[in-house]
């Protein structure tokens, strides 16, 4: 090879010093180029994703009054790093939730997902086999993405017929058992005994009911977040 003196010997030659200077200069310049290796950023805040319908979207309530908003406030008061993303849409069904879930998982990369869907399936008289299959697929997608899952159960009034009502209510514990995920048996368990806690449509809870709904969810959700579920930890 010509033009570059071999780097040998004990005493550095002029050519050797020039070569070393050039190499250092190239390294420094490369570190300033776009796309050059940089320090790995700190891990993002862990994300809790809520995929639900109007009961979680805060239908008919003032902004910030829904149970998911109260949950976000509680986690902030507890000085946790959890970020809550509420992807609930009023009127959504399990089919709708399943259709948009892959994009949500890809975008938000949640560590925990709360699935609160199914009520609109029943109110529309949809096939319960489809409701169960949709929920199972949603849970499977979340688990495949590495997220822990909390399934939130729902019940419907008896005027839909005893058989349909019972079959619908049974879907949630069955999916939770077969998929091995946590379960809130009935989101409105502490609300249905108070007719005055519902809006004029007799379907959507008022702001007064939202703290009770949060307390129904909290004992099953807190362990998934690595938190204590006791009331003293929720203050």
Q: pLDDT band for 3, please (50, 70, 90 cuts).
A: very low
Residue with tokens 């091995």: 180
Give yes or no: residues 136 and 213 share one domain: yes
Give yes or no: residues 25 and 135 share one domain: no
User: Which backbone phi and psi does 173 adopt, to 5 degrees?
Assistant: -65, -30
Strand order in the sheet with 83-86: 83-86, 47-52, 112-116, 148-152, 182-184
Give yes or no: residues 34 and 51 share one domain: no
Give yes or no: residues 100 and 204 share one domain: yes
Active site residue 180: no
- 12: Cβ contacts below 8 Å, ≥ 6 apart: 20
Residues 147-178: pLDDT tens digits? 999 999 999 988 889 999 999 999 999 999 99
Give yes or no: residues 105 and 130 share one domain: yes
Give yes or no: residues 140 and 172 share one domain: yes
Give yes or no: residues 126 and 101 share one domain: yes
Kindly state the helix (H) or strand (E) to which residue 151 belongs, with its residue range: strand 148-152
Active-site hit among 54, 88, 92, 121: 54
Give yes or no: residues 100 and 210 share one domain: yes
Give yes or no: residues 23 and 85 share one domain: no
Active-site hit among 10, 106, 180, 201: 201
Q: How many domains does the chain have?
A: 2
Cα 127 to Cα 66, 134, 178: the distances in Å are: 29, 11, 20
SS3 138: helix
Structural domain that includes position 29: 1-38
Active site residue 201: yes
Q: pLDDT band for 228, please (50, 70, 90 cuts).
A: confident
Residues 27-65: pLDDT tens digits? 433 434 444 444 444 447 999 999 999 999 999 999 999
CA pair distance 69, 77, nearest whole angstrom: 12
Tell me the β-bridge partners of 51.
115
Q: In residues, how long is the chain?
A: 235
CA pair distance 218, 232, nearest whole angstrom: 12
Active site residue 130: no
């Amino acid at each position: 090879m010509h033009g570059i003196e071999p780097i040998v010997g004990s005493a550095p030659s002029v050519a050797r010093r020039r070569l070393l200077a050039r190499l250092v200069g190239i390294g420094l310049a490369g570190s300033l180029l776009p796309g050059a290796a940089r320090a790995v950023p700190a891990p993002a805040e862990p994300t809790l994703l809520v995929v639900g319908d109007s009961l979680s979207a805060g239908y008919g309530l003032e902004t910030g009054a829904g149970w998911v908003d109260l949950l976000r406030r509680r986690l902030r008061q507890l000085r946790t790093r959890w970020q809550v993303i509420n992807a609930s849409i009023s009127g959504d069904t399990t089919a709708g939730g399943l259709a948009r879930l892959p994009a949500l998982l890809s975008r938000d990369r949640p560590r925990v997902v709360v699935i609160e869907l199914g009520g609109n399936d029943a109110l529309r008289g949809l096939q319960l086999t489809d409701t169960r299959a949709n929920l199972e697929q949603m849970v499977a997608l979340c688990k495949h993405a590495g997220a822990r899952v909390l399934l939130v159960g729902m019940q419907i009034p008896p005027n839909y017929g005893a058989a349909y009502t019972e079959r619908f209510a049974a879907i949630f514990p069955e999916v939770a058992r077969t998929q091995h995920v946590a379960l809130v048996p009935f989101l409105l368990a502490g609300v249905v005994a108070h007719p005055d806690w519902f809006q004029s449509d007799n379907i959507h809870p008022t702001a007064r009911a939202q703290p009770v709904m949060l307390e129904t969810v909290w004992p099953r959700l807190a362990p998934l977040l690595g938190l204590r579920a006791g009331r003293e930890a929720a203050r």
